[in-house]
Amino acid sequence: MSKRKKSAGEVKKRLPVAQEKPWGGRFDAALDKKAESFLASLPFDQRLAQEDIQGSMAHCRMLIKTGVLPPQDGELILRGLAEISSELAAGSFPFDLSFEDIHMNVERRLVEKIGPVGGKLHTGRSRNDQVALDMHLYVKKEIKQIDGLLTALQAVLLELAKKYLGIIIPGYTHLQRAQPVLFSHHLLAYFWMLQRDRERFLDAYARADLMPLGAGALSGSGFPLDQEEIARELHFAALYENSMDAVSDRDFVIEFLGCAAMLAMHLSRLSEELILWSSQEFSFIELDDAFTTGSSMMPQKKNPDIPELVRGKTGRIYGNLLALLTVFKGLPLAYNKDMQEDKEPLFDTSDTIKSILELFPGLLWSIKLNKEKLKQAVRDDFSTVTELADFLAGKGIPFREAHGIVGRLVRFALDAGKLPADLTRSELAAFHPLLDSDLTLELLKPQRAVESHQSRGGTAPQAVKEQLSRARRAMRRNDVRAKKLFHSGTL
Ligand code: ARG
């Protein structure tokens, strides 16, 4: 180990600052090329460019205000950042992988443009709180966009529910015909799932609405920073209470992925129904040509590729959630390089969920219902016989007994090859004298069965109309909440 000691003069003779790594001072040798590209996040974190500039500008303004930076230096930096922002927007920014990530690329460019004074921007800041800030800004922006898309999808579901108010479809349990329901009722079930999804994203927004800058690398800063000023400028609702938490926290990213996973699960369930309903076996609906594809070999095919791919992409969205939970489970405080892995799952999930949400309204709106087939479907099965059991129970017969009586009636009909509509009053009467009434035949009609389910949230047309107006009100409540949250900055 005979390493010759260098003189101070030799150590000082190094590359000009702009070509060197920011940490170059402590190092003798250059980074291995493969290591450099392995470590780089630039290929994906360049998507944070605008958030990064926005954060840097707010930081710089605060440094001027608090007297940490001389105004003329600060102004120079701000102008440089504005130019860089335009370069980024125009696609002319010269990215350089040897500067690892977007943060160092912007800083390097700033120094290129305005000289060494650009190096003052990083005063009182670390990439650790810088990247945390960028991620907060990004997640908040994405939630706002998703909120708008979710609302549009909910609005389409409400419109469709209104449009199809009279249509009855078979309702299923175990994928076996169970009881008839209004198609609108079925659609509205998805409305309420999306309602909860939207609420979840809004909850997540509130927790993402914390400003981490000032945390420095982990322990805060010795400079007289005004963190509240930055939060105000960037419209954050509050500051972190603990600098170590501020730079280590990615709960808000994981929570976003969790919200997206739940939303994707709902959309995947709806997709599954569209796939089933549009199959020849069901033939309840036809998907529009604009949202289906054919087969390269079988000329008759019309494939529900979009709902299938939504179902498939849901797997990826779950995977991203699990990936990030796993990345974080063993991380000691504070920043660890592992955390750089937070970006691709976030970007991928957000892009995927937005692309799905953008497609769904058009897809749903263009669906054609096969009304004849639906009428036949609810006529040709036994899904109304629970009404008879309820009728007998209403007359004082214990429900268990009533169930048995009607069960035997169904057995008889099946053996005789009859459907409920074929049964006569006297055939019914043979199973119980109370069934000897015109009303009982009436009860077997799907329309009647649906109309009788008037409980709150039930499928009776009146109940569904009330549900619709509750849905509209619930949506407005979320609109108000979203507006408040998105324009917060209520420090
Ligand atoms: N590219 C890094 C990331 O995304 C930025 C923070 C790096 N900080 C550090 N101390 N190496 O996580």
Check residues 83 and 293 and name the one with the higher pLDDT: 83
Asked whether the predicted pLDDT for residue 58 surpasses 60, the reply is yes
Asked whether the predicted pLDDT for residue 68 surpasses 50, the reply is yes
Protein residue whose Cα sits closest to atom 11 of ligand 1 = 337
Question: Cβ atoms within 10 A of the Cβ of 82, count?
Answer: 12
Q: What is the pLDDT of residue 153?
A: 98
Q: What is the pLDDT of residue 381?
A: 85
Residue 433's identity, in one-letter code, is P
Q: Which numeric CATH code is attached to 128-368+471-486? A: 1.20.200.10
160-219 per-position pLDDT tens digit: 999 999 999 999 999 999 999 999 999 999 999 999 999 999 999 999 999 999 999 999
106-136 per-position pLDDT tens digit: 999 999 999 999 999 999 999 999 999 999 9
- Cα–Cα distances in Å, from 264 out to 155, 185, 320, 418? 18, 21, 12, 42
Ligand 1 neighbour 335 (Cβ under 6 A)? yes
- Sort strands 238-239 and 285-286 into parallel, antiparallel or unpaired: unpaired
Check residues 444 and 1 and name the one with the higher pLDDT: 444
Ligand 1 neighbour 346 (Cβ under 6 A)? no
The pTM of this model reads 0.92
Q: What is the pLDDT of residue 260?
A: 98
Cα angle 134, 340, 262; round to 5: 80
Ligand 1 neighbour 131 (Cβ under 6 A)? yes
Ligand 1 neighbour 340 (Cβ under 6 A)? yes
Ligand 1 neighbour 102 (Cβ under 6 A)? no
**C-alpha 257 – ligand 1 centre gap (Å):** 21
In terms of C-beta distances under 8 Å and separation of at least 24 residues, what long-range contacts does 105-109 make, across chains too?
A: 105/42, 105/46, 106/49, 106/52, 106/53, 106/56, 106/81, 107/22, 108/18, 109/80, 109/84
For domain 385-444, the CATH class is mainly alpha
DSSP reduced 3-state for 211: strand
Selection from 397, 381, 379 nearest residue 389 by Cα? 397
Active site residues: 174, 295
24-48 per-position pLDDT tens digit: 788 888 889 999 999 999 999 999 9
Question: In the CATH scheme, what architecture does the domain 13-123 have?
Answer: Orthogonal Bundle (1.10)
Selection from 238, 234, 247 nearest residue 207 by Cα? 238
Selection from 357, 366, 219, 368 nearest residue 286 by Cα? 368
Asked whether the predicted pLDDT for residue 151 surpasses 90, the reply is yes
Q: What is the pLDDT of residue 173?
A: 96
Residue 31 sits at φ, ψ, to 5 deg, of -75, 140
Question: Which range has the worst mean pLDDT, 288-297, 393-402, 455-464?
Answer: 288-297
> In sequence order, what are the residues at sequence separation of 6 or more whose Cβ sits closer than 8 angstroms to the Cβ of residue 255?
204, 207, 208
301-341 per-position pLDDT tens digit: 789 999 999 999 999 999 999 999 999 999 999 999 999 99
Q: What is the pLDDT of residue 1?
A: 44
**C-alpha 100 – ligand 1 centre gap (Å):** 9
Question: Which range has the worst mean pLDDT, 17-21, 56-60, 376-380?
Answer: 17-21
Residue 405's identity, in one-letter code, is I
Q: Among 42, 128, 328, 333, which is best to mutate for testing ligand 1, by the most ligand atoms less than 8 A from CB?
A: 128
Average pLDDT over residues 434-452: 92
Q: How many CA atoms lie within 13 A of 99 on its CB side?
A: 20
DSSP code of 303? Answer: B
Residue 17 binned pLDDT confidence (cut-offs 50, 70, 90) = very low
Selection from 254, 242, 253 nearest residue 218 by Cα? 242
Q: What is the pLDDT of residue 122?
A: 97
Closest ligand 1 atom, CA of 102? Answer: 1
Protein residue whose Cα sits closest to atom 3 of ligand 1 = 340
Sequence spans of domains, the chain? 13-123, 128-368+471-486, 385-444
> In sequence order, what are the residues at sequence separation of 6 or more whose Cβ sits closer than 8 angstroms to the Cβ of residue 112?
18, 118
Burial pattern 371-397, b for ≥16 Cβ within 10 A else e, equals eeebeebbbebbbbbbbbbbbbeeeeb
Q: Among 31, 47, 127, which is best to mutate for testing ligand 1, by the most ligand atoms less than 8 A from CB?
A: 127
Average pLDDT value for the chain: 93
Average pLDDT over residues 450-455: 96
Q: What percentage of the chain exceeds 70 in pLDDT?
A: 95
Ligand 1 neighbour 391 (Cβ under 6 A)? no
Q: What tokens were used for 210? A: 């914390």
**C-alpha 140 – ligand 1 centre gap (Å):** 20
Residue 56 binned pLDDT confidence (cut-offs 50, 70, 90) = very high
Question: Which range has the worst mean pLDDT, 156-165, 253-262, 428-437?
Answer: 428-437
Q: How many CA atoms lie within 13 A of 470 on its CB side?
A: 14
Residue 18 binned pLDDT confidence (cut-offs 50, 70, 90) = very low
Residue 295 binned pLDDT confidence (cut-offs 50, 70, 90) = confident
DSSP code of 176? Answer: E
Q: What is the pLDDT of residue 8?
A: 62
DSSP code of 293? Answer: B
236-256 per-position pLDDT tens digit: 999 999 999 999 999 999 999
Q: Which residues pair with 285 in a beta bridge?
A: 369
Average pLDDT over residues 431-440: 91
Among the residues of 209-329, which ranges form H helices? 227-233, 243-248, 251-277, 305-328
